[in-house]
Amino acid sequence: MESVMEDVAKVLNIDPMEFRKLNFFENGQITARGMVLKYCTINNIVSQLEASADVLNRKQQIAAFNQDNRWKKKGISVMPLRFEVNFTHAHQNVYVTIFHADGSVAIAIGGVENGQGINTKMKQVCAYELGISMDIIRVKSTTLLTNSNSMATGGSITSDVNALGVMQCCQQLKTRMAPVKAKMVNPTWPQLVAQCFAEGVDLSASSFTFPSGDFCDYNVYGATCTEVEVDVLTGENQINRVDILYDCGESMNPEIDIGQAEGGFVMGLGYWLTEQMIFDPTTGTALTDGTWNYKPPLGKDIPIDFRIQFLKNAPNPRGVLRAKAVGEPPLCMAASALFAVKHAIEAARKEISKDEFFPLDGPATVEAIQTACQVDSSQFVYGT
């Protein structure tokens, strides 16, 4: 759909972002899937990004650069995002237990920690709910005994759903412990736990999350501005700058979420620009199966100037602890790099009077970019 809007904007000879603005959702509108957009902030986010990223001035600077340079071209693309997060189907089995001797807490969740920081967030949620230090909380490995029937970890929803489960477990425990606490005078956490154990209070709780009502779906909104520079002769390219404004609600952990946004975006750069799979047409064997011929993003592929901001004062009423998911949505925002490259190619083709529609599929490898620039030896003329 982004490609369709780019092409329509070109035919109408208007800025692609201005065309997108004509098609923005408004607050209260209903999506094709029947979802009412109660907290739609896309107009505000795009306006903020355009101001903070100085988009108008940079477009003028890029136009001047392209006018003065034949074999290097720049492109810039601003893209909005609406990413629906729906976890009505996301069942996760969570188990929380308190050890009577010292008050330490063990958590086992249905989600699997694979670098996304979910275990840290679960410790934070547990510490917040129980009013204790994170130092005495440990997250144990997921097992089919404590966390049976949990769905897959993925879709950027696992943190939300398991955080909800941890909260529910902690609320069960607090309810059971409350009568004991009421009989004590300012007990420490270990004292309270020991007394609860002495009085036969069950210090373990489980929750099989079944999200519904206000905690079942919401939308993530964001906007990205990507600026690239392309070598017309070789197709090589460099991402000069990326500005992202991302609606993370009230982030549970901004340091983790910033890393997830950066990582998701860079993973998307690989999808759109470098990671080409080639298969043997006869056997189906993957031919790009090693580091010599399969190119994920590396240090030189990361934007030189990489700026990510979270939308301020934007709690998510439909999210767990007012937060929003992060991970997959920023990956989708990397498509802005593809269209920035395409705009640079358009500037090159305009020089040879071939500024008409052309498809640019992902991954836009250096070969695809160079071919799309339609360079031939007749253009290598000095002084004309």
Q: Would you name the residues annotated as active-site residues?
A: 328
R_g over Cα of the chain: 26
Secondary structure of residue 81 in the 3-state scheme: strand
Q: Which two tokens stand for residue 42?
A: 């896309």
Q: What's 217-246 look like in SS3?
A: EEEEEEEEEEEEEEECCCCCEEEEEEEEEE
Strands in 72-86's sheet, in edge-to-edge order, are: 72-86, 217-231, 237-246, 305-310
Length of the chain, in residues: 384
CA distance 262 to 115: 13
CA distances from 315 to 22, 168, 250, 258 (A): 27, 21, 5, 17
Burial of 79 (0-12, 13-18, 19+ CB in 10 A): buried
CA distance 28 to 363: 36
Secondary structure of residue 106 in the 3-state scheme: strand
Alpha helical stretches, state H, 13-86: 16-22, 42-52, 55-68
Cβ count within 10 A of residue 297: 19
CA distance 352 to 260: 42
